[in-house]
Structure 1
Amino acid sequence: MLICPLCNAPLTDEDKSVKCVNYHTFDKAKQGYLNLLPVQHKNSRAPGDNLEMVLARREFLSAGHYAPLAERFATLVQQQHPANWLDVGCGEGYYTQKIAEALPQSQGYALDISRDAVKQACKLNKHLHWLVASMARIPIADQQSDLIATIFSPFNWQEAMRILNKQGGILRLGPTKEHLIELREMLYDEVRPYQDDKHLLQLPSELTLNFTDYLSFKLTLTEVKDRKNLLAMTPHGWRASAEKRQKVIENDLTVTVSVRYDYFKFI
């Protein structure tokens, strides 16, 4: 299943490491993850979310604020009955763990380019294959994945098609134009319109949209820490001025949570 990020040869387990036939060796970290992101493939010293963003997201999600999103996602992947699955851009692992609970008999893989995120994710489930890796170079062999999950994450369609088997599918969770609209109106002088289906414009001709599902609800945050975490875990928090962020933190906040689920398969 796993391949070497340097030469694409299969990786085999060797106690506390993995190795390919060309003697490229990658050690397993004490936390249990594999770092398959060679330094020459990094675009910065520490790519991906930093520890502050990771911890804010972990605390916010652990409080259950987005639990309905995760539960719906888990139900949808369970309906596909994959023998194995991959969560791309898994972050701190909240959604990944929900998928694993829904698919206890399936082999689960999860990757993120942020080592800080994967270190936190490892604590949730020791039985999953946690990887520090890039979506641009997924260290999985061709046509080996039954299901690919992408949740609030950038996505590389070509890499996904390479590793997805012909009977498999891609389940995407992304925001609609109403998602966190109240927060965005507080933070920005002008709220840019968001096109819910803009990702469909990038859809390769080999894939088709199999179904779309929607979920929307109101969320009220009465705790200061929850409002701080929401700001810290989204791009909106660091794009806005300090004055506007402070206004969000100081008062109870009710926002719309609105997302869409899209499932794609080969034609």
Structure 2
Amino acid sequence: MLACPLCQAPLAQLDNGVACAAGHRFDRARQGYLNLLPVQHKNSRDPGDNQAMVQARRDFLDAGHYAPVAARLAQLAAERTPGAWLDIGCGEGYYTTRIAEALPAADGYALDISREAVKRACRRAPQLTWMVASMARVPMADASCDFIASVFSPLDWREAKRLLAPGGGLMRVGPTNGHLMELRRLLYDEVRPYADDKHLALVPAGMQHAHGEVLEFTLTLPEAQARADLLAMTPHGWRASAEKRSRVIEQPAPLEVTVSMRYDYFVRQD
């Protein structure tokens, strides 16, 4: 299943890591993950989300604020009964763990480019294969996955298609135009709309859109810390002015926002 990120040859298990026939070896970190991101594939010294962003996301998600989003994703994954699955861009592992709970008999893999995220994620479900790796060069064999989840994550569509077995599918979960609208109105003088279906134009030939739905609910955040965590885990945490961020965090009234997620499932046909 695993492929060398340097030469694409199969990786075999060793005592404390993996190696290919060409002699490229990758050790397993003490937390349990494999670092399959060679230095020449990095765009920076420590790519991906930093420790503060990862911790904010972990605190917010572990508080259950997006539990309906994870529950629906796990249900949709279970309906497809994959033998092997991958969470591509797993972050700190909240959604990955819910998928793993729904698919106890399947072989699960998860990767993110952020080492800080994967360090925390792998403790949630040690039975999975956790990897620090590039989403543009996934260290897995062609047609090795029956199901791929991509949640709030950038996606290389052609790489995803390469990984899917014929008949396998990718579930993409992302925000609609109405997601966190109330928060965006507090932060910006002008809220710019965006097309939440623009990803459909990027889907490569040979993949069919087989399912689509929207999940929407109202979230109430009475605590200042929860509002701060929400800002820290979204682009609004650095796009909005410090003054407006502080106003949102410190407001005496609870913050009510709309959570609106789009689920799209694409099946590989060829």
Q: Which bin holds the TM-score, normalised by the shorter protein? A: over 0.9
Query: Which residue is equivalent to 2:99?
Result: 99
Q: Which residue of 1 aligns with 2:39?
A: 39
- Give the match's secondary structure for 2:40: helix
Structure 1 unmatched ranges of 5 or more:
none
Letter in structure 2 aligned against 1:70: A
Offset of 1:190 from its aligned partner?
1.2
Contact 2:164 2:268 in 1 (8 A): no
Per-residue CA deviations over 1:130-168 (Å, capped at 9, x if unaligned) read 000001100000011110100000000010111110010
Paired AA for residue 174 in structure 1: G
- What residue identity is the alignment partner of 1:266? R
1:45-84 counterparts in 2 under 5 A?
Answer: 45-84=45-84
Could you tell me how far 1:266 is from its partner in structure 2? 2.1
- 1:170-221: CA deviation from partner (whole Å, max 9, x where unpaired): 0010111100011111111111111110100111121110010111000010
Aligned letter for 2:215? L
Matches within 5 A, 1:182-197: 182-197=182-197
Distance (Å, rounded) in 1 between the aligned partners of 2:203 and 2:25: 35
Q: Which secondary structure does the structure 2 equivalent of 1:162 belong to?
A: helix
Tell me what 2:137 maps to: 137
Q: Could you tell me how far apart the structure 1 residues matched to 2:157 and 2:196 are?
A: 18
Match of 1:205 in 2: 205
Secondary structure of the corresponding residue to residue 40 of structure 1: helix
Which secondary structure does the structure 1 equivalent of 2:155 belong to? Answer: coil
Q: Which residue of 1 aligns with 2:171?
A: 171
Question: 1: CA distance between counterparts of 2:255 and 2:25?
Answer: 49
Equivalent residues in 2 for 1:215-234 (5 A)? 215-234=215-234
- Residue 257 of structure 1, aligned match among 256, 259, 263: 259
SS in 2 for 1:125: coil
Residues 53-103 of structure 1: CA distance to partner in whole angstroms, max 9, x if unpaired? 000000000000000000000000000000010000000000000000000
What residue is the counterpart of 2:180 in the other structure?
Answer: 180
Amino acid at match of 1:188: Y
Instruction: Compute the RMSD of aligned alpha carbons.
Output: 0.6
For 2:181 and 2:112, the matched residues in 1 are separated by 27
Rounded to whole Å, the distance in 2 between the matches of 1:77 and 1:213 is 14
3-state SS of 1:200 partner = helix
- Deviation track 1:228-250 (CA, whole Å, cap 9, x = no partner) reads 10000001111110000001101
Give the unaligned 5+ runs of structure 2: none
Q: Which amino acid aligns with 1:55?
A: Q
Cα offset, 1:123, TM superposition: 1.2
Q: Which runs of 4+ in 1 moved over 3 A?
A: none
Distance 2:186 2:46 in 1: 31
User: TM-score by structure 1 length?
Assistant: 0.99
Give the percent of matched residue pairs that are identical in Structure 1 and Structure 2.
62
* Cα distance between partner residues in 2 of 1:67 and 1:233: 16
What SS is found at the alignment partner of 1:110?
A: strand
Alignment match, 1:149: 149
What SS does the aligned partner of 1:261 have? strand
SS of 1:190's equivalent? coil
Q: Render the CA deviation track for 1:27-72: whole Å, top value 9, x for unaligned.
A: 0000000000000000011110000000000000000000000000
Write the distance in 2 (CA, Å) between the matches of 1:189 and 1:44. Answer: 33
